[in-house]
C-alpha cells in the first residue's frame, strides 16, 4: 500500500490502531552498572501495575512486520564487517516463534515485534550484554539469551503490603443499568463511592538485587553497581543508609567542578570510563549508544541544533565526535534503566579521559534540562538532604501550573525533579526550593485523557488491579519506538499492561454486506495517490544548522586520536564548511524542494501505509494502470491530473477541495462506482478523524506540517484505562500538590519594584488568589479561544494571532456496553461505509455530511473486560453529535449494527455513553489542527512565553501536535523554560576542554588508573589510541573490510506460500461458509497455514519444481558470493597487515 497521511493517525488523542494482550516493560533491561536501587523510586503502591506473564499470538493474515530501515538518514553509512553491519542494522528478525527467554533478553532497543511472548517485570532478566564475562557478538545474542538463561538469576526482596485504597477525587457513582443511558460531557460526576487508587508510602521502597552464578568478577563500583541492601536481612535502616550513599555519590554541582584539580575530581568521585562496561567490545558498546540516541529522538551522529548553538564557540570539529560519544553513552544509561535517575557521577564516567569531564557534565545538564533523561516517575536525589540545616527566608517562590492534564502533570513532575537537583542553589540564597501548585478545574486528573469507570465492573479477563473503563478521550499509544516518551512512562516506569491492535479492518457497506477486499485495496491505492499529489503543495520544511561528528568513529565507538584544531565558530568565520542542514526530524536534507518526508510506517484504523516516495511525477493514467485500474475507452497514456487551478483559486487553499478535485479528474479516466465513492469517502472520514475536522477546513500547505516526526511501532491501548498514566505522574514517586475544583478565571501581571520581572496573581472562580513567580498555562487551545481566562493586561497581538489562526476540532464517541458480545472479539475494529445523501450518487459533495457517522467501531473487550464497542464520529458528524439527542444516536447506531450482523441477535446496550467534547468547558473540543489561515511557525508562537507566563499543551508542540506525547513533551519544554528563568541557563565552563599537560600523558595516566584499581583493560591489549590511528590508516588506504553476504533465506515452501496464500485463504472461507458457520467467516492464520501446508504436501513434482529451482539457484548464488567474499577478505586482511607493519615500523623508527 502506498503513502498514507501521518496526521491520519499520528494521534494518541486519537490514532486508531494495531494486538495481542500485552504485558509491559519488556525491553528495559537494567544493566548491572545501573541496577542498584529502587529506593524511593517505585513505591509499593504501584502494585496495581502488575505484569501479566501471559499473552496470545497474532492470528490471521500473512506474516508482516515493520522493519526499521538501515538506510535511515541518521543510521546509514559504511560498516567494517558483517558483524558490525548486523550490530548497527535496525532491521529486526521475525521472532514470532521465539522462546520466552530469547525474547526478553533482547537489548533495550533491539527491533521489537510483539507477536512474540509476553513481557516481564523490570529486572526479571538481565541483558546478556551485561554479564560479567566476555560479551558475545551482536549476532550471537539471541542464541546466548536462550542457552545461557540459567546462568543469570534474579532475586527480589519481599514487598510491603501497605498499599491501600483511598477515595477517588472524581469517580462517578455508576450503578449497573438495564438499558440505562448515560451522557458524559467529557467530565466526571461528583464521587459517591471509593475507587482504587494507589498511594505513596515514602518509607516503603522496592530494592532489586542481581545475582549471577557465573559472575565472580567484581565490576567497577558506581551508584548502579553498589550492592543494594536487599535480601532477607535488609532493614529500613539499611535501605535508608544505602539510598543516602547513592544520593551522596550521585549529586554534585557542575559549576563547582574544575577538571584540572585532581583533588576536586577525587572529591566528586569522577572516574573516566567508570560507566563503560569493561566486558563489552567497543563495537557493541557503540551499537547500544547509537540505538539509545535514536530511541531518544536524537541524531547519534550530529549535534542537536540547540547543542550546536551552545557549543560552536567552545569545541573543535574533532571534539564534536568526542562529545557525541559521551552524550550517546549517557542516553544509553538512561534508556537501559529509566527506573533510576542518571547521576553526574555516572555521566562523568562516560568520558574516556579526565579532560572531557566538562563535556560530560555539559551533556548531562543539557539532556536533563531538555527532557531527554531523568523524566517521568523517577526519584531525583536531593543533595541538600545531607547538608546541615540552614535558616530560610520566610517567602518561598511559587510556580503555579494551570491544568492537570498530561502537559501540566509532566511539567510539574519535571520541575519537582529540577528543584530537587538544584536545591543547593536555593539553599545558598537562604531559600527553600520553590513550591509547585497545580490548579485543576475538574475533580479529576488527565484532562482530555479520561477513562470512565463503567457502572458494572467485570475484571475477570483483566490483569489484577485493573478496572473496566471506557476511553472518553485519548485512546491509543501511537507506537513506542523512535523516541516516544510514553515508552519510558508506560513500559519503563509504570509497567502498565497494554493491548497491541491488529492490522485488520474489514469494512461493512451501508447495507450490512462486507465490502470486497480487493476493491477496497484498489480504491485505497487511488486515494493515497490523490493525497500524495496534493501533498506536492505542502510548505517547505524548516531547516536547522548543525554539525556532524565522524560517523565511522562513532560506529566503532572510538574517539579521534587528536582533538586539536580551531573551534567551530572560527571555522565558519574562515569560510570553511563545518555545518549541515537538518529538517525537523533531525535528518540531513538534500534537495529540500523534492522532500516528501521520511519513510515510516503509518497506522490508520489498523491499516499499514508506507511512505516510500512520490508518484506525483508519474502521469495519473500510468499510475492508475500500475495500481490495477482499467482506463475508460479512449483515454491515452500520459494523461494526468492537475491541481494548480484549485490550489491557486484562493489565498488560503484547503486540502479537501484539492482532493475532491483529484477525485473528479480521476472520474474522467476511471469507471468509479458508487461503492468506490463510499470507499473513498471512508478514507476521507479517517483523515477527518485524525485531524478532528472536515478535510475542507485543513490547510493545503501545512495540514501535515509535522510530517517525519511519527513514532514507529504498533498502536496500542492501555488495559484498564489510559488515565493510569496521568495518575502515575501524579502519584509517583510522591504525590504532587494538585488542587481540584479550582477553575482559573484570571491571571494578572504587574511589574515588580526592581523591574526584573512580573508579579503574577492567579485568581480562581471561588475567589482564591495565589501569588506566583511563574505560571504555566496548559489549558487546551479551545479554552484559550473562548477567552475563559482573563489575562490582565491582555496577551500581546502576536500571541492572540496564533491562537485565532490555529484550528481546534472535535471528535466524539458513542460508547455501547453489552452483556454479551455478538461480534468477533478477536477483531479489534471494523469500519462502516455511509451512503450519500442521494443514493447511488457519484457526486463527491453528496458524501461530505454523512461519511463520518459511526464510520469506525472499536472493539474494547480485551482492554475493558466487558463487551464494549466504541463508535467514532468524525468530521461534520462529530459536530452533529453536539446537538443530537442520545436516543436518536442510539437508534441510528443500532440500526447500522443490526444490518452489519444480520445473522446474530443484536440486543440493546446495557449502558450507553455519549461524549460531547465541544460542550466541555475545560476543553471546548478535542485537539488542534492546521487551518487554512494558519501561518508557518504558529505552533512555535503558541509555545513562546509572555513574560513569566509560560504555555504548554499539544497545541504548543509543533513537532507532535494533537497527541498525548506531544502534550507531555510540551510540559517538559515549559519546565525547562521555568528552570532556565529561575536557576539560570546551563553554564559552559571555560575552557570546556582543558589542554593536555605532561601529567596527563598517556603513560602516566595509565599508571594512575592502574594504581587506583580500575584495571579497565588487560596490559596485553594494545594502546587504543594507536589502534584507532592504525584503523584510520587502513580504511583510508584500502577502505572497509568486505562484508560477508547474507544467506539467501529462500525456502521453496515459503515461496509457494507467498504465491498461494490468498488462494488458500479464499478456499478456507468457502469451507467455513459451506459448513454454515455464522458470524465472521474469515479463517484464522493457523487455519490457513495448515491448509497451505497440506496443499504443498499434495502438490505434484511439476508444481514444486519452479520453487525448488529458485531455491537451488539462490543457494548457488550465495555459494559464489561467499567464495568471492573469502577471496576479497583474505586480500584485505593481507593488505591490512602490511599497513599495520609499516605503521608500527614508522612509529618505532
Would you give the DSSP letter of residue 490?
I
Identify which of 43-57, 296-310, 577-591 has the greatest average pLDDT: 296-310
Backbone dihedral angles phi then psi of residue 531, each to the nearest 5 degrees: -60, -40
The β-bridge relationship of strands 435-439 and 180-184 is unpaired
Provide DSSP, 151-195.
GEEEEE------------TT-B-----SSEEEEE-SSPPPB-S--
Asked, for residue 1058, whether it belongs to a domain, the answer is yes
Q: What 3-state DSSP class applies to 322?
A: helix
Helices (H) and strands (E) in the chain, counts: 33, 30
What is the domain range of residue 1142? 1052-1148
Question: Which residue spans within 975-1072 are E strands per DSSP?
Answer: none
Asked, for residue 582, whether it belongs to a domain, the answer is no
pLDDT number for residue 1110: 86
Asked, for residue 701, whether it belongs to a domain, the answer is no
Q: What 3-state DSSP class applies to 660?
A: helix
Q: Let me know: does 316 contact 563? Beta carbons within 8 Å.
A: yes
* Mean pLDDT value of segment 195-204: 30
Residues 6+ apart with CB under 8 A from 1047: 1118
Backbone dihedral angles phi then psi of residue 518, each to the nearest 5 degrees: -65, -40
C-alpha distances in Å from residue 1098, one per residue of 115, 1103, 1104, 1108: 30, 10, 10, 15
C-alpha distances in Å from residue 164, one per residue of 195, 386, 560: 11, 31, 56
In angstroms, the CA 44 to CA 56 distance is 29
Across 332-341, 612-621, 720-729, 955-964, least confident range = 612-621
In angstroms, the CA 239 to CA 242 distance is 5
Asked, for residue 1063, whether it belongs to a domain, the answer is yes
pLDDT number for residue 752: 62
Asked, for residue 1100, whether it belongs to a domain, the answer is yes
Asked, for residue 54, whether it belongs to a domain, the answer is no
Identify which of 137-141, 240-244, 670-674 has the greatest average pLDDT: 670-674
In angstroms, the CA 815 to CA 861 distance is 12
* Cell numbers standing for residue 363: 551533556
Top-confidence residue, 826 or 88: 826
Q: Is 186's pLDDT higher than 50?
A: no
Q: What 3-state DSSP class applies to 331?
A: helix
Q: Is 77's pLDDT higher than 80?
A: no
Across 308-317, 365-374, 498-507, 846-855, least confident range = 498-507
The residue among 322, 782, 829, 729 whose CA lies nearest residue 488 is 729
Q: Is 488's pLDDT higher than 60?
A: yes
pLDDT number for residue 225: 37
Q: Is 1015's pLDDT higher than 70?
A: no
- Which residue do the cell numbers 526550593 mark? 433
Q: Let me know: does 280 contact 289? Beta carbons within 8 Å.
A: no
Reported as type and span, the H/E element at residue 716 is strand 715-718
* Cell numbers standing for residue 39: 529506593
Provide DSSP, 1103-1114.
HHHHHHHHHHHH
Q: What is the pLDDT of residues 359-383, one digit of tens each?
A: 999 999 999 999 999 999 998 887 6
Q: Is 816's pLDDT higher than 50?
A: yes
Reported as type and span, the H/E element at residue 758 is strand 758-764
pLDDT number for residue 616: 55
pLDDT number for residue 487: 94
Q: What is the pLDDT of residues 635-663, one digit of tens each?
A: 888 899 999 999 998 999 999 999 999 99
In angstroms, the CA 304 to CA 197 distance is 40
Rg (CA), the chain: 30
C-alpha distances in Å from residue 880, one per residue of 851, 886, 916, 918: 12, 12, 10, 11
- Spatial strand order in the sheet of 21-22: 21-22, 498-500, 715-718, 477-478
Backbone dihedral angles phi then psi of residue 307, each to the nearest 5 degrees: -60, -45
Whether cis (ω within 30° of 0) applies to the bond prior to 793 is yes
**Alpha-carbon dihedral 315, 319, 321, 322, rounded to 10 degrees:** -120
Q: Is 730's pLDDT higher than 90?
A: yes
* Cell numbers standing for residue 923: 476543553
The residue among 84, 81, 79, 112 whose CA lies nearest residue 98 is 112
pLDDT number for residue 1023: 60
Q: Is 7's pLDDT higher than 50?
A: no
Q: Is 1086's pLDDT higher than 90?
A: no
The residue among 91, 89, 90, 116 whose CA lies nearest residue 104 is 116
In angstroms, the CA 682 to CA 517 distance is 14
> pLDDT-derived band of residue 22, with 50, 70 and 90 as boundaries?
very low
The residue among 70, 39, 534, 486 whose CA lies nearest residue 250 is 39
Residues 6+ apart with CB under 8 A from 272: 348, 349, 351, 352, 353, 354, 356, 357, 1009
pLDDT number for residue 1030: 83
Q: What 3-state DSSP class applies to 200?
A: coil
Backbone dihedral angles phi then psi of residue 556, each to the nearest 5 degrees: -85, -10
Q: What is the pLDDT of residues 1022-1048, one digit of tens each?
A: 466 677 778 878 888 888 888 877 666
In angstroms, the CA 222 to CA 361 distance is 16
Asked, for residue 1140, whether it belongs to a domain, the answer is yes
Provide DSSP, 381-448.
--GGGGSPP----S---EEEEE--BHHHHHHHHHHHHHHHHTHHHHHHTT-PPPEEEEE-SSSSSBTT
In angstroms, the CA 380 to CA 423 distance is 11
* Cell numbers standing for residue 45: 503502591
If one counts every other C-beta atom within 10 angstroms of the C-beta of residue 797, the result is 8
- The count of structural domains within the chain is 1
In angstroms, the CA 940 to CA 954 distance is 11
pLDDT number for residue 1025: 66
Asked, for residue 1040, whether it belongs to a domain, the answer is no
* Cell numbers standing for residue 400: 503555579
C-alpha distances in Å from residue 1038, one per residue of 80, 82, 107, 1042: 12, 17, 33, 10
Q: What is the pLDDT of residues 882-917, one digit of tens each?
A: 999 999 999 999 999 999 999 999 999 999 999 999
If one counts every other C-beta atom within 10 angstroms of the C-beta of residue 993, the result is 23
Amino acid at each position: 500500500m502506498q503513502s498514507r497521511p501521518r496526521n491520519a493517525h499520528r494521534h494518541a488523542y486519537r490514532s486508531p490502531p494495531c494486538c495481542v494482550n500485552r504485558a509491559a516493560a519488556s525491553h528495559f533491561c537494567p544493566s548491572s552498572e545501573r541496577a542498584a536501587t529502587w529506593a524511593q523510586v517505585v513505591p509499593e503502591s504501584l502494585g496495581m501495575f502488575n505484569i501479566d506473564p501471559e499473552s496470545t499470538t497474532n492470528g490471521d493474515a500473512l506474516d508482516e512486520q515493520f522493519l526499521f530501515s538501515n538506510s535511515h538518514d541518521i543510521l546509514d553509512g559504511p560498516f567494517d564487517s558483517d558483524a558490525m553491519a548486523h550490530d548497527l542494522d535496525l532491521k529486526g528478525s521475525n521472532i514470532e516463534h521465539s522462546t520466552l527467554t530469547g525474547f526478553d533478553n533482547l537489548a533495550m532497543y533491539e527491533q521489537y515485534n510483539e507477536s512474540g511472548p509476553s513481557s516481564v517485570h523490570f529486572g526479571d532478566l538481565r541483558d546478556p550484554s551485561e554479564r560479567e564475562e566476555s560479551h558475545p557478538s551482536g549476532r550471537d545474542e539471541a542464541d546466548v539469551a536462550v542457552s545461557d538463561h540459567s546462568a543469570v538469576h534474579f532475586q527480589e526482596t519481599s514487598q510491603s503490603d501497605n498499599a491501600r485504597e483511598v477515595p477517588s477525587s472524581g469517580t462517578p457513582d455508576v450503578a449497573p443499568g438495564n438499558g440505562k443511558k448515560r451522557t458524559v460531557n467529557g467530565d466526571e460526576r461528583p464521587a459517591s463511592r471509593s475507587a482504587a487508587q494507589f498511594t505513596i508510602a515514602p518509607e516503603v521502597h522496592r530494592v532489586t538485587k542481581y545475582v549471577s552464578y557465573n559472575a565472580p568478577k567484581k565490576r567497577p563500583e558506581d551508584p548502579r553497581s553498589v550492592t543494594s541492601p536487599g535480601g532477607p536481612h535488609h532493614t529500613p535502616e539499611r535501605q535508608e543508609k544505602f539510598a543516602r550513599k547513592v544520593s551522596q555519590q550521585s549529586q554534585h554541582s557542575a559549576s563547582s567542578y574544575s577538571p584540572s584539580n585532581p583533588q576536586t575530581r577525587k572529591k566528586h568521585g569522577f572516574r573516566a570510563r567508570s560507566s563503560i562496561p569493561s566486558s563489552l567490545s567497543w563495537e557493541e558498546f557503540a551499537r547500544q549508544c547509537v540505538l539509545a540516541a535514536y530511541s531518544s529522538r536524537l541524531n547519534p551522529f550530529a549535534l542537536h541544533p540547540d547543542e550546536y548553538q551552545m557549543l560552536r564557540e567552545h569545541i573543535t570539529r574533532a571534539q564534536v565526535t568526542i562529545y557525541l560519544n559521551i552524550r550517546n553513552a549517557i542516553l544509553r544509561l538512561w534508556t537501559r534503566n529509566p527506573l533510576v535517575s542518571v547521576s553526574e557521577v555516572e555521566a562523568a564516567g562516560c568520558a574516556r579521559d579526565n579532560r572531557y569531564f566538562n563535556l560530560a557534565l555539559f551533556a548531562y545538564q543539557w539532556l536533563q534540562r531538555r527532557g531527554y533523561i531523568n523524566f517521568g516517575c523517577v526519584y531525583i536525589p536531593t543533595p541538600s538532604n545531607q547538608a546541615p540545616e540552614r535558616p530560610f527566608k520566610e517567602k518561598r517562590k511559587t510556580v503555579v501550573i494551570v491544568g492537570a492534564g498530561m502537559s501540566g502533570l509532566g511539567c510539574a513532575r519535571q520541575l519537582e525533579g529540577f528543584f530537587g537537583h538544584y536545591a543547593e542553589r536555593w539553599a545558598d540564597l537562604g531559600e527553600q526550593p520553590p513550591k509547585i501548585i497545580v490548579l485543576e478545574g475538574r475533580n479529576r486528573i488527565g484532562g482530555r485523557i479520561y477513562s470512565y469507570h463503567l457502572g458494572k465492573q467485570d475484571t475477570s479477563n483483566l490483569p489484577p488491579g485493573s478496572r473496566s473503563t471506557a476511553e472518553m478521550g485519548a485512546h491509543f499509544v501511537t507506537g513506542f519506538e523512535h523516541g516516544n516518551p510514553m515508552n519510558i512512562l508506560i513500559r519503563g516506569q509504570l509497567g502498565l499492561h497494554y493491548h497491541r491492535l491488529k492490522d485488520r479492518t474489514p469494512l461493512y457497506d451501508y447495507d450490512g454486506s462486507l465490502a470486497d477486499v480487493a476493491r477496497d485495496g484498489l480504491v485505497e491505492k487511488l486515494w493515497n495517490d490523490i493525497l500524495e499529489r496534493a501533498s506536492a503543495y505542502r510548505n517547505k520544511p524548516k531547516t536547522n544548522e548543525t554539525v556532524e561528528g565522524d560517523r565511522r568513529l562513532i560506529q566503532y565507538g572510538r574517539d579521534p586520536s587528536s582533538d586539536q584544531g580551531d573551534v567551530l565558530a572560527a571555522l565558519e568565520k574562515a569560510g570553511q564548511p563545518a555545518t549541515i542542514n537538518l529538517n525537523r526530524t533531525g535528518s540531513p536534507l538534500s534537495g529540500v524542494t523534492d522532500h516528501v518526508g521520511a519513510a515510516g510506517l503509518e497506522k490508520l484504523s489498523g491499516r499499514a501505509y508506507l511512505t516510500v516516495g512520490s508518484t506525483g511525477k508519474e502521469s495519473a493514467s500510468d499510475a492508475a494502470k500500475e495500481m490495477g485500474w482499467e482506463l475508460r475507452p479512449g483515454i491515452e497514456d500520459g494523461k494526468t491530473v492537475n491541481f494548480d487551478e484549485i490550489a491557486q483559486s484562493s489565498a488560503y487553499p484547503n486540502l479537501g477541495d484539492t482532493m475532491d478535485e483529484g477525485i473528479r479528474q480521476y472520474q474522467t479516466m476511471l469507471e468509479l462506482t458508487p461503492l468506490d465513492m463510499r470507499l473513498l469517502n471512508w478514507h476521507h472520514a479517517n483523515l477527518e478523524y485524525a485531524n478532528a475536522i472536515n478535510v475542507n477546513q485543513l490547510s493545503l500547505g501545512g495540514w501535515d506540517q509535522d510530517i517525519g516526526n511519527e513514532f514507529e511501532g504498533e498502536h496500542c491501548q492501555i488495559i484498564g484505562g489510559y488515565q493510569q498514566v496521568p495518575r502515575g505522574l501524579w502519584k509517583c514517586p510522591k504525590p504532587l500538590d494538585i488542587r481540584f475544583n479550582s477553575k482559573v478565571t484570571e491571571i494578572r501581571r504587574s511589574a515588580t519594584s526592581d523591574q526584573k520581572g512580573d508579579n503574577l496573581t492567579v485568581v480562581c472562580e471561588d475567589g482564591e488568589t495565589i501569588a506566583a513567580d511563574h505560571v504555566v498555562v496548559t489549558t487546551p487551545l479551545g479554552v484559550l479561544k473562548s477567552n475563559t481566562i482573563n489575562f490582565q493586561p491582555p496577551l500581546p497581538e502576536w500571541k492572540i494571532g496564533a491562537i485565532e489562526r490555529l484550528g481546534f476540532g472535535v471528535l466524539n464517541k458513542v460508547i455501547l456496553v453489552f452483556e454479551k458480545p455478538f461480534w468477533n472479539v478477536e477483531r479489534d475494529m471494523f469500519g462502516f461505509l455511509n451512503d450519500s445523501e442521494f443514493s447511488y450518487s457519484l457526486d463527491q459533495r453528496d458524501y461530505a455530511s454523512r461519511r463520518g457517522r459511526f464510520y469506525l467501531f472499536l472493539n474494547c473487550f480485551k482492554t475493558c473486560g466487558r463487551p464494549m464497542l466504541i463508535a467514532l464520529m468524525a468530521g461534520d458528524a462529530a459536530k452533529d453529535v453536539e446537538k443530537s439527542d442520545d436516543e436518536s444516536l442510539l437508534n441510528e447506531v443500532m440500526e447500522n449494527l443490526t444490518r452489519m450482523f444480520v445473522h446474530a441477535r443484536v440486543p440493546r446496550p446495557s449502558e450507553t455513553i455519549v461524549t460531547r467534547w465541544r460542550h466541555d468547558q475545560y476543553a471546548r473540543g478535542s485537539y488542534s489542527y492546521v487551518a487554512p489561515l494558519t501561518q508557518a511557525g504558529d505552533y512555535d508562537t503558541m509555545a513562546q512565553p509572555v513574560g513569566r507566563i509560560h504555555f504548554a499543551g499539544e497545541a504548543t508542540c509543533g513537532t507532535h501536535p494533537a497527541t498525548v506525547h506531544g502534550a507531555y513533551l510540551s510540559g517538559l519544554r515549559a519546565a525547562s523554560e521555568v528552570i532556565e528563568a529561575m536557576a539560570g541557563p546551563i553554564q559552559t565552563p571555560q575552557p570546556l576542554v582543558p589542554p593536555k599537560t605532561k601529567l596527563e600523558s598517556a603513560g602516566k595516566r595509565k599508571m594512575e588508573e592502574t594504581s587506583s584499581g580500575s584495571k579497565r583493560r588487560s596490559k596485553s591489549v594494545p594502546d587504543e589510541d594507536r589502534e584507532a590511528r592504525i584503523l584510520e590508516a587502513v580504511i583510508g588506504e584500502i577502505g572497509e573490510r568486505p562484508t560477508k553476504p547474507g544467506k539467501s533465506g529462500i525456502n521453496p515452501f515459503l515461496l509457494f506460500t507467498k504465491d498461494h496464500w490468498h488462494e488458500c485463504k479464499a478456499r478456507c472461507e468457502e469451507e467455513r461458509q459451506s459448513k454454515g458457520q455464522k458470524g465472521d467467516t474469515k479463517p484464522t492464520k493457523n487455519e490457513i497455514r495448515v491448509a497451505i501446508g497440506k496443499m504443498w504436501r499434495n502438490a505434484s513434482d511439476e508444481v514444486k519444481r519452479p520453487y525448488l529451482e529458485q531455491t537451488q539457484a539462490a543457494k548457488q548464488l550465495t555459494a559464489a558470493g561467499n567464495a568471492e567474499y573469502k577471496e576479497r577478505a583474505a586480500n584485505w586482511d593481507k593488505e591490512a597487515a602490511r599497513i599495520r607493519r609499516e605503521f608500527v615500523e614508522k612509529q618505532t623508527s
